[in-house]
Amino acid sequence: MPLDGITLGFIARELEAKLMGARVDKISQPDHDLVILTLRAQGETLRLLISATPGSARMHLSQSRYENPDEAPMFCMLMRKHLAGGRVTGIRQLGGDRLIEMRVTGRDELESSREKVLYFEAMGKHSNLTLTEGGRILDALRHVSPDMSRVRQLLPGLPYEMPPVQDKLDPGEMDKAALAARMKAFKGPLDRFLADHVTGVSRQTAWEMALRVAGDTEARLDGLDLEALADRLAALFTALPGMASPRLLMDMEGTPADALPFPFISQPQQRQEPSDSLSQAVETRFDARDRALRLAQRAASLNKTITNALNKARRKLAIIQEETPSFEQAEELRVMGELITANLHALPRGAESVTLPNYYTGGETAIPLDPALPPSANAQRYFKRYRKAHTARKLSDSHQERALSDIALLEESLYFLERAQSNQEISELRAQLALAGFARPLAGEGKKKKKTESPMMRFTSSDGFIIIAGRNAGQNERLLREARGEDIWLHARDVPGSHVLITAAGRAVPRATIQEAAKIAAFYSQSRGKPVQVDYTLRKNVRKIPGGGPGLVHYTGEKGLTAQAQEPEILALAARAR
């Protein structure tokens, strides 16, 4: 369940207790709709995460770390300009809704005190973060133009207007009389009344409240004492702030399903785990899913780029193979030219075809002729076509080789993309494809500072040998570049996968270590989980294919063995390397 206004109210109070007076130290924007403020409060460093992602919009203290882009987005730069060094002077929820106001006071270039206000709106697809000063918008995470909304625009320079107010009661200022009057005019279940008439109450929270005040999640208003019910509801809303006792609700499989601000009697008690803070519960609930979603979104764009390029390369190869004359077709043209030359004296002028004895086969061959040309010119015409076909075959070999190399690189990139576990791995893949001409680098990538490369995978064999595996084509190539000639190189045969290297360090490598390295090569290949032939040879026998993409190699002197591995075996080898 996305955070409702009731839960967000508990978070606002938790943040107020933790962050009042805190100094804004750093600001980062790891993704287009994710901002992290690093603050110092009472000698402690705290990270405030603000996510405007539809479906998982949230604001809470965070222990997680995110990869930052090489260049900060414009919104992040503006936030740094106006908020860095400032102190938090207020955090509150507005109107019981999914709206939090955060005030930060700092000094401008002239050392004058200036107050900036951040408005976080956790409202589904309309979630946003807006920075204002003096009631005017400095910038917003998501711009809303007149074309997008005639009711409310969010653009730099415009006055900041609150989201449209719904005709609902504020849970923080509940009036018993108003509550009773609304209930009298409503026909239906109590939970639906609460969700429809009280700001910030989701259906799940409404079930909880219905159970607490009426003893039944499906209680209906007709037949109940509405005056007494209004008293109990008003008392419940008044007591809510003091009920804070965060819980993490688990599903039947033991997976975090929801973050609860207090114990819910409408949910099984054995599936509610106490949490140190509501921020911690919310992060546990959303973090893994949100990271996976962001990774999938980044991967989807690159996946489309690779797939399109792969289909194009395959079509190109098919056309080359279809249009290139075979050896037999080229030889047939040469033979026809020779047969005409050998029989010039017997050929009549103006004939459209002629059947001549073929001294290569012992039979006869029918040869089409151009009646406008003399016999000798027809012979030269066939020799010219033969030379052209022969040249086409030579060019075709190089074109086919390049097309096959492109296909191999793209298939391998697709394999590594499907297994990428971080934004950095995806960025490295995109950079490699950009160098090969198959993708456009993202804005800002490759500029200014050199990107830090992600670490290769490291393992230790049962015999104590270091085994290294690449995470992508670029790392495969780097692994080869940094290896020594006596090291042992392994790769699953004829399928995309990681290059694996056993660091010999001047020692003879035991068979058991080679078998373990082969399992790693099999596991980190397209044949994961299935038996696959793994080739291995000395590093000095492996050569990069000239003109081929990163990681594409030719090798000799190889031996092979069949390998298959399951994840626990690989994790055990990785654990030894730590």
Condensed to tens digits (0 to 9), the pLDDT of residues 391-413 reads 766 666 677 777 787 888 888 88
CA 519 – CA 122 distance, rounded (Å): 47
pTM of the predicted protein model: 0.69
State the greatest distance between any 2 C-alpha atoms of the chain, in Å, as a whole number: 122
Condensed to tens digits (0 to 9), the pLDDT of residues 204-260 reads 999 999 999 999 999 999 888 999 999 999 999 999 999 999 999 998 888 889 999
Condensed to tens digits (0 to 9), the pLDDT of residues 481-538 reads 899 999 999 999 988 899 999 999 989 999 999 999 999 999 999 888 889 999 999 9
- The side-by-side arrangement of strands in the sheet containing 466-469 is 457-460, 466-469, 500-502, 488-492, 532-538, 559-563
Mean pLDDT, rounded, for 33-41? 95
Q: How confident is the model at residue 448 (pLDDT cuts 50, 70, 90)?
A: very low
Q: How confident is the model at residue 104 (pLDDT cuts 50, 70, 90)?
A: very high
Question: What residues contact 313, with CB distance under 8 A and at least 6 apart?
Answer: 403, 406, 407, 410
Tokens of 560: 């092979």
Least confident residue range of 42-46, 133-137, 173-177, 291-295 = 291-295
* Residue-range domain boundaries for the chain: 5-140, 171-275, 324-408, 457-576
Q: Per-residue pLDDT for 1 more than 60?
A: no
CA 134 – CA 170 distance, rounded (Å): 26
Condensed to tens digits (0 to 9), the pLDDT of residues 50-98 reads 999 888 899 999 998 888 887 899 999 999 999 999 999 999 999 999 9
The CATH code for residues 5-140 is 2.30.310.10
Whose CA is closest to 10, among 199, 243, 292, 216? 243
Whether 28 contacts 35, CB under 8 Å: yes
Of the chain, the percentage scoring pLDDT greater than 70 comes to 95
Q: How confident is the model at residue 443 (pLDDT cuts 50, 70, 90)?
A: low
Condensed to tens digits (0 to 9), the pLDDT of residues 339-387 reads 889 888 888 888 888 888 888 888 888 889 888 888 889 888 888 888 8
Q: How confident is the model at residue 334 (pLDDT cuts 50, 70, 90)?
A: confident
